[in-house]
C-alpha cells in the first residue's frame, strides 16, 4: 500500500485525507469479505500509471487511435500471460469488470428472450446469471437451479432435469456464495447433453484455480469469465478465457458490442498480477487461503455455528445466524465495529429479505495475504463469536474491546 502521494495532498486535501483514512482502516481491521484482497505495491503502481491517459479502442494491431506503441505489447503480454496461467486457448483482458464480462457472453451467444440457466441469486449465484432485477433476467429468459435444502450443495440431477426441460442455450456455473468445489466436468456433461454453451464464472476462485487449490474449469467449459481482483489479487477488472472457436464472437461482444476503450492502466495491473500469480509463492498463498478457511470453519463449528453445507472447500464460509437470534445485517454491523469486516448475505431458502437476511459471508483471501495462518483462525472465530453475541445484547463495550485485540493482531502482519 502506498503512502498518500504529496501531489494529491497538495491538490485535493479532502480526497487525500479520505485516502489516508482508508489506508489506516485497511491496516487496522481483519478484512473477511471473501471477494476482497490487498494488491501488491507493483499492481498498485501499474493501476495508478500513465497508461490511464491513453485511448485504445480495438485490439492489438487493429486500433482506432494512434500512439499504441506501448499499449499493444502491453495488452498482448497480459492476454498471453492469462492464456499461459490458465491453459486457455484465448483470453480477452478488456472487460471493465465481472458483470460486463458476463454481459459479453450473452451478447456473443444469445438473442433477447432466449433461455439461460444459472444458479439462483439467493442460493449463491450472481445477478448476471439471469436474476430478475438484472438486465440478464429482464432481456433473456432465465431458468434456475439452487442447492439442496438438506445438504446446502448443488444437486447435478436437478441441474440436468431443468436443463433437459428448458433447453437453455447457455448454462452458467459458479457464483458469489458457493462454499464448495464446483464440479465443472459434471456441468460440462449436462451442457453437452442439451447442446448449451457452458460458462464457468470463476470470479471468486480464480486465484485458487491459478494456484492449484481448486480444479480448473478450462478443460471443461466453453467460456470462463472472472474478475481479476478477488483471490487472483489483481486490480478491479475482468477477463474472458475461451476456446479458440469462440474468440471472435466474444471479442466482438466486448468491443464494439459493449465497451469503448479498454482501461489500459488496469490492463497493465492485470499483467503484473498474472506474473505474480504464476510464481511458486502464489501456489503457497492459494493453498494457505483454503487451509485458513477450513480452520476458521472448524473454529466456528466448534462454537456451535451453522454453516451452509456444513463447512467449506474453498476460501468462503456462509454462516446461517438464525439459531443465534440475530440477523446477518445486525451481526455484520456489530462485527464492523469490532474491526472485522464481513458482509451480510442471504442463505439458501432464506425467509428474510436480501437487505436484512439471515446469513453472513466471510472468507480468508485478504487476511491470508496479510500472512495470518491457521493458528490465527481460532482467534478470529472467537472474536466473531464474541461480537455476534454482543450484537444480540447491544454490548458496544465488548465490540470496542474486540476491535482493539483485532488491531493488535493485524499490526503484527503488515499490509503488502
Ligand atoms: N461483488 C461480488 C462479490 O462480492 O461476490 C459479486 O458481484
Residue 186 phi/psi, 5-degree rounding, is -65, -45
Task: Report helix, strand or coil for 284.
Answer: helix
Q: How far is CA 277 from CA 124, 292, 365, 366, in A?
A: 26, 19, 14, 15
pTM over 0.75: yes
Mean pLDDT of the chain, nearest integer: 97
Residue 126 assigned ligand-binding role: yes
Q: For 54, left (φ over 0), alpha (ψ -120 to 50), or beta?
A: beta
List own/partner pairs for 406-412 with CB under 8 A and 24 or more apart: 406/28, 406/29, 406/30, 406/338, 406/339, 406/340, 407/28, 407/29, 407/339, 409/30, 409/372, 409/376, 409/379, 410/27, 410/28, 410/29, 410/30, 410/339, 410/370, 411/27, 411/28
The active-site residue, picked from 23, 36, 57, 350, is 57
- Please enumerate in sequence order all residues whose Cβ is within 8 A of that of 389, keeping only pairs 6 or more positions apart, or say none: 324, 395, 398
pLDDT in tens, 243-272: 999 999 999 999 999 999 999 999 999 999
Q: What is the CATH number of domain 284-411?
A: 3.90.1150.10
Does residue 129 have its Cβ closer than 6 Å to ligand 1? no
Report the length, in residues, of the chain: 416
pLDDT in tens, 160-198: 999 999 999 999 999 999 999 999 999 999 999 999 999
Q: What percent of the chain clears pLDDT 70, i.e. is strictly above it?
A: 99
Is residue 227 part of the annotated active site? The answer reads: yes
pLDDT in tens, 273-305: 999 999 999 999 999 999 999 999 999 999 999
Residue among 367, 381, 378, 379 at smallest CA distance from 416: 367
Q: Domain locations in the chain?
A: 45-277, 284-411
The active-site residue, picked from 227, 346, 364, 398, is 227
DSSP 146-187: -B-TTTSSB-HHHHHHHHHHH--SEEEE--SS--S---HHHH
Is residue 201 part of the annotated active site? The answer reads: yes
Residue 321 assigned ligand-binding role: no
Per-residue pLDDT, 347: 98
In which band, very low, low, confident or very high, does the pLDDT at 209 lie, cut at 50, 70 and 90?
very high
How far does residue 176's CA lie from ligand 1's centre (Å)? Answer: 6
The active-site residue, picked from 83, 153, 167, 236, is 236
> 12 pLDDT exceeds 80?
yes
> 5 pLDDT exceeds 90?
no
Q: How far apart are CA 416 and CA 314, in angstroms?
A: 23
Per-residue pLDDT, 102: 98
Does residue 47 have its Cβ closer than 6 Å to ligand 1? no
Best residue for ligand 1 mutational test, from 127, 176, 226 (most atoms within 8 Å of Cβ):
176
DSSP 3-72: PPPHHHHHH-HHHHHHHHHHHHHHHHSEE--TT-----HHHHHHHTSGGGG----EETTEESSS--TTHH
pLDDT in tens, 26-60: 999 999 999 999 999 999 999 999 999 999 999 99
Q: Are 126 and 200 in contact (CB under 8 A)?
A: no
pLDDT in tens, 68-90: 999 999 999 999 999 999 999 99
The active-site residue, picked from 31, 180, 230, 233, is 230
Residue 48 assigned ligand-binding role: no
Common-topology check for domains 45-277 and 284-411: no
Is residue 370 part of the annotated active site? The answer reads: no
pLDDT in tens, 347-398: 999 999 999 999 999 999 999 999 999 999 999 999 999 999 999 899 999 9
Kindly state the cell numbers that stand for 347: 442463505
Is residue 230 part of the annotated active site? The answer reads: yes
Best residue for ligand 1 mutational test, from 172, 203, 232 (most atoms within 8 Å of Cβ):
203
Using N-to-C axis directions, what is the helix angle for 396-411 and 328-337, rounded to 10°?
A: 60
> 2 pLDDT exceeds 90?
no
Residue among 188, 139, 194, 186 at smallest CA distance from 169: 194
Minimum CA distance residue for ligand 1 atom 4: 35
> 3 pLDDT exceeds 90?
no
Q: Are 271 and 295 in contact (CB under 8 A)?
A: no
Per-residue pLDDT, 4: 47
In which band, very low, low, confident or very high, does the pLDDT at 1 lie, cut at 50, 70 and 90?
low
Q: What is the CATH number of domain 45-277?
A: 3.40.640.10
**Mean pLDDT score, 113-124:** 97
Minimum CA distance residue for ligand 1 atom 1: 35
Does residue 126 have its Cβ closer than 6 Å to ligand 1? yes
Per-residue pLDDT, 358: 98
- Please enumerate in sequence order all residues whose Cβ is within 8 A of that of 378, keeping only pairs 6 or more positions apart, or say none: 295, 299
Give 253's DSSP letter.
I
Kindly state the cell numbers that stand for 270: 492485470
Does residue 35 have its Cβ closer than 6 Å to ligand 1? yes
Amino acid at each position: 500500500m502506498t503512502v498518500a502521494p504529496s501531489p494529491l495532498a497538495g491538490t485535493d486535501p479532502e480526497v487525500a485525507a479520505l485516502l489516508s483514512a482508508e489506508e489506516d482502516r485497511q491496516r487496522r481491521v481483519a478484512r473477511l469479505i471473501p471477494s476482497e484482497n490487498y494488491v501488491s505495491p507493483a499492481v498498485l503502481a501499474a493501476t495508478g500509471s500513465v497508461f490511464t491517459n491513453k485511448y485504445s479502442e480495438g485490439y492489438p494491431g487493429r486500433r482506432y487511435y494512434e500512439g499504441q506503441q506501448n499499449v499493444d505489447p502491453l495488452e498482448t503480454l497480459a492476454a498471453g500471460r492469462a492464456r499461459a496461467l490458465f491453459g486457455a486457448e484465448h483470453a480477452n483482458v478488456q472487460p471493465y469488470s465481472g458483470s460486463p464480462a458476463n454481459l459479453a457472453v450473452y451478447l456473443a451467444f444469445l438473442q433477447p428472450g432466449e433461455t439461460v440457466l444459472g444458479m439462483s441469486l439467493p442460493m449463491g449465484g450472481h445477478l448476471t446469471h439471469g436474476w430478475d432485477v438484472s438486465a440478464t433476467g429482464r432481456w433473456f429468459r432465465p431458468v434456475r437451479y439452487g442447492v439442496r435444502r438438506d445438504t446446502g450443495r448443488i444437486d447435478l440431477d436437478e441441474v440436468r432435469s431443468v436443463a433437459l426441460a428448458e433447453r437453455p442455450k447457455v448454462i452458467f456455473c459458479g457464483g458469489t456464495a458457493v462454499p464448495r468445489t464446483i464440479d465443472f466436468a459434471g456441468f460440462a456433461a449436462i451442457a453437452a447433453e442439451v447442446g448449451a454453451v457452458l460458462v464457468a464464472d470463476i470470479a471468486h476462485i480464480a486465484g485458487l484455480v491459478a494456484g492449484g487449490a481448486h480444479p480448473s474449469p478450462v478443460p471443461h467449459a466453453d467460456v470462463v469469465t472472472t474478475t481479476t481482483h478477488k483471490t487472483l489479487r489483481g486490480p478491479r477488472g475482468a477477463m474472458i478465457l475461451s476456446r479458440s472457436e469462440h474468440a471472435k464472437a466474444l471479442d466482438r461482444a466486448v468491443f464494439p458490442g459493449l465497451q469503448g476503450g479498454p482501461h489500459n492502466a488496469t490492463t497493465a495491473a492485470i499483467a503484473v498480477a498474472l506474473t505474480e500469480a504464476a510464481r511458486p509463492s502464489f501456489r503457497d498463498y492459494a493453498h494457505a487461503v483454503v487451509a485458513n478457511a477450513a480452520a476458521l470453519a472448524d473454529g466456528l463449528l466448534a462454537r456451535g455455528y451453522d454453516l451452509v453445507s456444513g463447512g467449506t472447500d474453498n476460501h468462503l464460509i456462509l454462516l446461517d445466524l438464525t439459531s443465534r437470534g440475530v440477523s446477518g445485517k445486525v451481526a455484520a454491523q456489530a462485527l464492523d465495529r469490532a474491526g472485522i469486516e464481513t458482509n451480510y448475505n442471504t442463505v439458501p431458502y432464506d425467509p428474510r429479505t436480501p437487505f436484512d437476511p439471515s446469513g453472513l459471508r466471510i472468507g480468508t483471501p485478504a487476511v491470508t495475504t496479510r500472512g495470518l495462518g491457521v493458528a490465527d483462525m481460532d482467534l478470529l472465530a472467537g472474536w466473531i463469536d464474541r461480537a455476534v453475541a454482543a450484537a444480540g445484547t447491544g454490548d458496544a463495550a465488548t465490540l470496542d474491546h474486540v476491535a482493539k485485540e483485532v488491531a493488535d493482531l493485524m499490526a503484527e502482519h503488515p499490509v503488502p
